[in-house]
Copies of this chain bind each other. A is one copy, B any other.
Amino acid sequence: MSGAKMDGSLNKIGPKTNPRISDVARVAGVSTATVSRVLSNPSMVSAKTRDHVLAAVTETGYRINLAARNLRRRQSGGIVVLVPHLSNPFFSQILSGIARVASEAGLNVLVADTREPEGADRQIADYLFNNRADGLIVLDGNLPESMFQPPHNDRDMPPVIFACEWVEGHDEPAVTIDNRHGAALAVEHLIALGHRRIGHIMGPRDNILTRQRADGVRDALSAAGLEADQRWFLDGDFTLASGIAAAPHWLALDERPTAVFCSSDAMACGFMSELNRHGVQVPGDVSVVGFDDIEIAAHFIPALTTIRQPRGAIGEVAAGMLLDLMRGPDKDGKPAEGGSRTLPIELIVRNSTAAPNPSRT
């Protein structure tokens, strides 16, 4: 009687605690070391034992405890992605690309919005130096330089990859596109249509992409012997709202450009939307080109001519490079590729561009 009771309470009704590696080891008749090796370095174990262990794993329903592994391996098991404005649809595809390769490697992906008002800086430093991340992908080129110096003297920092944007003066590897060339492509398209007065809605003043794309605009204009009138370069910040804000400035110009190249699709949409409210037709009265090729671009009214960035690929490549860096210098001493990569872009012609209306030229 008391024996049965003891038996029951000890073996069957035990507090349903998850199986540990030692449970698997017991079932398989091996040591915990062997189980661990089967799970993370199978080639070290003979095929026969491996099968036993695997069988024991499924029998017990064992799932590894990541906190324990991470503690022992002195890692965090995650990477963080620093995004300016999480709600910007431009980033979603990049994130999805990152997530694809990271999850393949068993890594968690943490996303932090660098423009959140709530003490963003402190929080990001937290991610950086709080053992939360084994690696970092930065999509925001306007972070303070200081953020990449550890606050306490010689603490080590996880590897960093920049993507899309980057902080100048840093030699961290980056995954980018040729922004200057992309902008030139857009403007060349407008020139080919016959436009002679071409405006440009720019990104934020202090942004690296803004400068590069504006340079591309000037390249194309001067190659065609056209003037780059400074009054036709309007301010923006990549957001839809700033495209709206640019419209009245364009409307107020003495001699309006017959075409406008916007440094982001969001601005192009905002710009066209506001022009429409004022009765200005695209492309009848003005042609508009965007940059990015976000999903809505193809379905805006009119469908937006734009420069396509391979956003999924950017994310995948960035994550892949980060993984290389995290694995550290290869066994052969090969320093794990320090280089940056530039991915190809493409001009997508849709309905927002046309030859200039002769009556208004």
Contact = CB atoms under 8 A, between A and B. Distances in A.
Contacts of A96: 86-87, 113, 116
Given A110-B108, A113-B96, A131 B16 contact: no
Given A110-B110, A273-B299, A67 B76 contact: yes
A146 to B, nearest CB: 15
Interface string A163-185: 00000000000000000000000
Interface stretch (A32-40, A151-159, A193-201, A332-340): A151-159
Contact of A301 (B65, B89, B301): B301
A240 B76 contact: no
A71 interface: yes
Contacts of A153: 61
A95 interface: yes
Given A92-B92, A99-B113, A152-B61, A108 B86 contact: no
Contact of A71 (B67, B77, B78, B129): B67
Interface in A300-354: 300-303
A6 interface: no
A267 to B, nearest CB: 11
Contact of A108 (B65, B108, B113, B269): B108
Contacts of A66: 76, 130-132
Interface in A190-225: none
Interface in A102-135: 103-104, 108-113, 116, 118, 123, 129-132
A44 interface: no
A300 B266 CA distance: 11
A111 B130 contact: no
A303 B300 CA distance: 12
B71 A99 contact: no
A18 B92 contact: no
Interface in A29-80: 60-61, 63-68, 70-71, 75-78
A272 interface: yes
Contacts of A116: 96, 100
A251 interface: no
Contacts of A132: 66, 108
A244 interface: yes
A282 B244 CA distance: 21
A132 B64 CA distance: 10
Of the listed residues A87, A131, A272, the one surrounded by the most CB atoms of chain B closer than 10 A to its CB is A87
Given A67-B67, A89-B89, 4 more contacts: A18-B155, A78-B108, A87-B92, A273-B299
List 8 tightest A-B contacts by C-beta distance, closest first. A61-B152, A67-B70, A67-B71, A273-B299, A16-B154, A87-B92, A89-B89, A276-B301
30 contacts: A18-B156, A61-B151, A61-B153, A63-B130, A65-B131, A66-B76, A66-B130, A66-B131, A67-B67, A68-B71, A86-B95, A87-B295, A92-B92, A96-B116, A99-B113, A100-B116, A100-B118, A108-B110, A108-B132, A109-B111, A110-B110, A240-B299, A244-B299, A272-B301, A273-B300, A273-B301, A273-B303, A296-B296, A300-B300, A301-B301
